[in-house]
Each structure stands twice: as structure tokens, then as C-alpha cells.
Amino acid sequence: MIKAAAPLLLAMLLLTSCSTTQSPWAALPRFKEQDQANLVVRYYSDDTSYVLKPQKNDGPFLTILTKEAVLDVAKQQPGRQLAVVILIHYGVPGEAEAVEQNWKSLLAGAGYQRVVFLRASSGMRANGLPILAGGG
């Protein structure tokens, strides 16, 4: 009977251990200031970004912009209190920090008082995303 129960117990142990594993972003504070942001950018690479606020579209689709085009949009905004950059996950250590530093420098140079970086998930909303940097 013990031999028959052992595989079941092992399976239950594995299931409970997997279900309690949390993402490293689970404990991070969540962003709640999308309405107050002057600029919201979803950044993938220097050649591929989307400006979510003010929304830039090609017909029904979001326009794919280069980093330079995003900066042009950023410089056109009358208010420059808060810029938000949503970053995808980077597998290489230090890559996210380099991207953050570059954007922070560029947006501060364009006059933005505060730049917040968020960890991307599915969807295009900023509210509710984990804050990686610039939350304070």
C-alpha cells in the first residue's frame, strides 16, 4: 500500500511546490498613474516601439515607431511631468539597466521630470504593471 501511495504523494508535492513559486515581479509595487502620464511608450527595441499615450495609430493599428520617432512625439507634448516606458523581459543581465539609463537620459533631456519603467505583460495598459524603476 505504501508503494502504491508513493507516486501519488510525489505528484502532490510537485504540484504544491510549483503552485507556490512566484514571479520575481510579484512583490514589486504596481503602477497606478496612467491617467496622469504625459507619455506612455511600450519599448521592444530601438526600431520597434509603440506610443500608447498620446496614442499613435495607422488606421486601427498602433504605429510602429523608432526610438527617434518616439522622442519626436515626446518633445511635442505640452506637459512633461511623467513619462512611462514599458519594457519587455531581457534575458541578458544588465541589458534592462542599459535600456533604462538610455531612456532616462533621453527623456530627461527632453524635459521630463520623472521617468518610470514598468515590466511588460500582455495587453497595452500601464496601470497594474510592476514598477521596475522610477516609482518614487
Predicted local distance difference test score (pLDDT) of residue 3: 53
> Looking at the domain assignment, is residue 5 inside a domain?
no
pLDDT band of 136, cuts 50, 70, 90: low
> Looking at the domain assignment, is residue 100 inside a domain?
yes
> Looking at the domain assignment, is residue 18 inside a domain?
no
Q: How many domains would you assign to the chain?
A: 1
> Looking at the domain assignment, is residue 15 inside a domain?
no
State pTM to two decimals. 0.79
| 95, pLDDT greater than 70 | yes
> Looking at the domain assignment, is residue 19 inside a domain?
no
> Looking at the domain assignment, is residue 6 inside a domain?
no
Place of cell 521592444: 44
